Structure formats: C-alpha cells, structure tokens
C-alpha cells in the first residue's frame, strides 16, 4: 500500500499526549501512533455497526471445579458457527488457559464472551476483536 505524507497542526498539549501515547505503547514514531489510533477508532466503529470481525476470547479457570467444563463445552457447541478453533493449555496443576478464535458479528462475539465469562469458576475472561472480518 502506498504511503501518503501530510502535515498535521495540533495544539501543544495534544501533541504531548500523542508523544506519551507513542512512548507508552512502544511505538517508534508519531506516524505509527496516529496510524494506531485511527485503526483503533475504525475497529470500534466496526463493532458498533455489528460488522463481521475476527478475534479471540481468552479464559483462565480452575479446570477441576464442579461442572464448569461441561458448561463451557455446551456454550461453545451452541456458538459453533462463530468459533474457528480453541486451544486448551494446562498452566498449572489447578489452572487452565483456553484461547478461542472467533469470527462473526461483533454483537454475537460479545454475547458469547459474556456468557463464558459469567460461568462460575472463570477467573479471567477477555474478548479481543480486530478489524479483520
Ligand atoms: Ni487444563
């Protein structure tokens, strides 16, 4: 993709904020910072429009707790149309990490993540959505 250069006028305080953003996110320059911010904005806009997006759901849970695994599987079966794959890691004798790759309408992904996260025994649940559909 070709790159276009353009001049930007900004208030000093906004420029300072941009420089902080670049530094905090380990970006190399202001162009990268602006690119990052525009991308984030576009991703959020896509979610709001309920477009098809790809993403992942990360879950951490105690694998030996009551019927959590049965419930986790039942919900994933229910949403089989938007689940691409899932990977299970045993991170300790007690804890499991599961990463579920998803693709579908942003509202459906959010609903699935909310349902999984609400299960008793899930200690961490996070949905990450991208712009790619
Ligand atoms: Ni496990």
CB atoms within 10 A of CB 55: 23
First vs last C-alpha separation in the chain: 19
Query: Against a cut of 0.85, is the pTM above it?
Result: no
pLDDT higher than threshold 90 for residue 46: no
User: Does the pLDDT value for residue 75 go beyond 90?
Assistant: yes
Q: How far is the CA of 98 from the centre of ligand 1 (A)?
A: 8
Ligand 1 mean position, distance from CA 29 (Å): 41
Q: Residue 78 has what pLDDT?
A: 97
Highest mean pLDDT pick, 50-54, 59-63, 85-89, 126-130: 85-89
How confident is the model at residue 42, as a pLDDT?
A: 83
pLDDT class for 51, splitting at 50, 70, 90? confident
Average pLDDT over residues 99-121: 94
Enclosing domain of residue 38: 12-48
Instruction: Say whether both 78 and 116 belong to one domain.
Output: yes
Helices (H), 1-124: 12-24, 30-48, 68-78, 106-117
Confidence band, pLDDT 50/70/90 cuts, at residue 96: very high
Q: Identify whether 32 is part of a domain.
A: yes
Neighbours of ion ligand 1 (CB under 5 A): 63, 90, 96
Q: With 90 as the cut, is the pLDDT of residue 50 above it?
A: no
The answer to whether residues 92 and 71 belong to one domain is yes
Residue 94 maps to a domain = yes
Query: How is residue 132 annotated by DSSP?
Result: -
Q: 70 C-alpha to center of ligand 1: Å?
A: 13
Separation of CA 94 and ligand 1 centre (Å): 8
CA of 108 to the centre of ligand 1 (A): 26
Domain assignment present for 66: yes
Residues 44, 59: one domain? no
State in Å: Cα 60 to ligand 1 middle: 9
Q: How much distance in Å is there from the Cα of 59 to the middle of ligand 1?
A: 11
If pLDDT is split at 50, 70 and 90, which confidence band does 63 have? confident
């Amino acid at each position: 993709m070709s790159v276009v250069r353009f001049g930007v006028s900004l208030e000093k305080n906004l420029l300072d904020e941009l420089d902080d953003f670049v530094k905090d996110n380990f970006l190399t320059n202001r162009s990268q910072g602006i690119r990052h911010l525009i991308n984030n904005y576009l991703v959020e806009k896509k979610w709001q429009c309920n477009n098809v997006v790809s993403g992942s759901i990360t879950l951490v849970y105690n694998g030996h707790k009551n019927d959590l695994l049965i419930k986790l599987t039942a919900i994933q079966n229910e949403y089989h149309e938007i689940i691409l794959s899932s990977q299970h890691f045993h991170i300790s004798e007690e804890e499991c990490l599961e990463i579920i790759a998803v693709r579908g309408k942003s509202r459906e992904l959010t609903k699935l993540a909310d349902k999984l996260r609400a299960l008793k025994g899930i200690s961490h649940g996070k949905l990450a959505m991208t712009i790619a559909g």
